[in-house]
Structure 1
Amino acid sequence: SFLEPVLTHLRLDPLDRGLQVFDAMEIGAQHHPPLDPDRPVLVAQLYGRQLASDVKLTLLNLYPAEHPLTLIQGAGTLGEKGWSVPLFELDRDSNLNDLTTLYVPPLSRPSGMAALQEVVARLRAPDGCPWDREQTHATLRRYLLEETYEVLAAIDADDRDKLCEELGDLLLQVLLHSQIAVESGEFSSADVAAGLIAKLIRRHPHVFGDLDVADASEVLQNWEQLKAKERGEKDKIKGQFDGVPVALPALLRAQEVQDRAARLGVDGSSQVELDRRIGEALRQASATTDPERREDAIGEALFALVRLTRMLNVEAESALRQATARYVAEFPADP
């Protein structure tokens, strides 16, 4: 076996941190490596530059470009040699052959999902954090919403460092809910992942199957048809909005309802018609003295305005959020 001489060359104990061993062809065929970045990896039979390029592109989905690697060639033979390269240079060596093995060391700090789940489980353990231990699905609702809006704020600010941080905070909420579910025997994070994987594959037959689609619009229409079929409500319009959360902010929910209606092919209003409806609703709101009729008219105007933003390829929620931010920024300190 090539393992013993390679491990001897690296002075590596395979049991120390849980060695992972893969064939280069298997890694190169993936889009994301099936690896735990907190554990060492050996990639065997890295026999050429094209394969090394495929492996490099896969590893770059998990490791930084500068991550130090070690190549071992001819381990256990008289011609044994080893040399180091950063990940981004992996495919620049023309001397790779069937006896070349790649060593990928762990990242410098805990970074894998398993490590993160261990931290969350430790927080919820009997000797963990009192605050984390007393949380439930219900008590975490506000934090899930807050972290979601923090992510949106980072996106609006075009702050990539902040976005990375806030996505971590949002991921924490997902893992906390999963850990709570494990403890109560409801489901596990593996169940969450398995359900999502199956759903994504099932609803993307144009990627994982043999369905042909013309463009993104056709993808969305097919997505809605598949969802309807899964619900056992194929070809029915009634109930198609059941999956749109009632708890969404009103503007966001209006846009989601209209997006879904458009994907179902039942939203054929023209821009001229929408302009007319908005103007008419605003005139009715101004003319009436009845509070309920005024509220209805304003609601109709807002709903039609959301439909107009869809037609103009503008996200209503984002547009309003940015307009509010501009107003706050321009508001005088001493009005």
Structure 2
Amino acid sequence: MIPHYCLTMRNFFSQKSRRPNGTAQPSLQPQQPTLQPQVVNFKKMPAIISAGAVEKIEKFPNGTGGLGDVWMCTWREESWMCKVAVKSVRIPHTNDKELVEKIGKRIRRETHVWIDLDHDNILKFLGIVEGFGPLPALVAPWMENGSLDSYLKPHTDLSKVETLGMLRQIAAGLKYLHDEEIVHGDLTCTNVLIDDNGKLYLADFGLSMILAESENSTFNSCHPGNVRWMAPEMLDMPDQEGLTMPDQEEVTMPEQAGVIKPTKAADIYSYGCIMLQLFSGHQPYFWLTQAMHVIAARVGGTKPFPARRIASVEDGHREYSLRCLSNDPGDRPYVSGIVEFLDQQSS
């Protein structure tokens, strides 16, 4: 695979002076470096990137999510440079040195797993770099089209073929992770990126698991933005069927409920939310803007997609999506079954 996001830097010398025989003699004064495409084998790159090789392009992050900030940067080596995305992982209470050290070690350990992942629908992990906060920052190729969530806003007229194709790519990437025994843990349309050719890539996989395994009860509280896509068991919520809204003081919010590790079944629930988002054009709980309002709605038994909003979705697509959203993790399909279903729908 030729990485399209890399350029070489070559010095071209002026040829004003000439040798006695009339042939051109290069000047010792180089002109401005010229950028040209080049194949760079990232598999031979070190997992730890020198902090001096990565520079921010702008003063402020280009994106902010539940797990951190994303910076547009340049990664510059001796003979080439490329635009990259650097994700600085955010945790509360960074003055807890023991916690920071524990999570940092975990990230560095997982680096050697992530860097070997190789799939068409998994965003290539290039390594880690220091200098973007107390924890190692994650480096990946920059995607000009951004997230699928932002891409969908102006593209509201996707055809059935396009929608199924996108879902198939996401499912293929998720199947690869699950086959490698990796739980994504934060699967949303904001963590699916899209390149110039419309190809989709899963990003930010594994971070939720690392934070959960830190045994820090603040994991959920630093992760409020994606509560819309979270499986109910991840919120430590009771069965929603027939649940009535309890008194305010009796509501158990996620940050009080302790930490629950993400699972493959939880990934399937999140995938079901993505399915219905693409089929219906609406995010889960789209009518609510605040995370705490979403939590309250979920505790009260409100479904992520009102029936009237998904009534126009084809019966087979709606029923399969709702199966992924089952409250019982054991009733949800495996990702291999999702791939088979989408292949049948596309044939």
Taking structure 1 as the reference length, the TM-score comes to 0.29
Taking structure 2 as the reference length, the TM-score comes to 0.29
**Bigger share in helix:** 1
**Bigger share in strand:** 2
Bigger relative contact order (CA 8 A; separation at least 6): 2
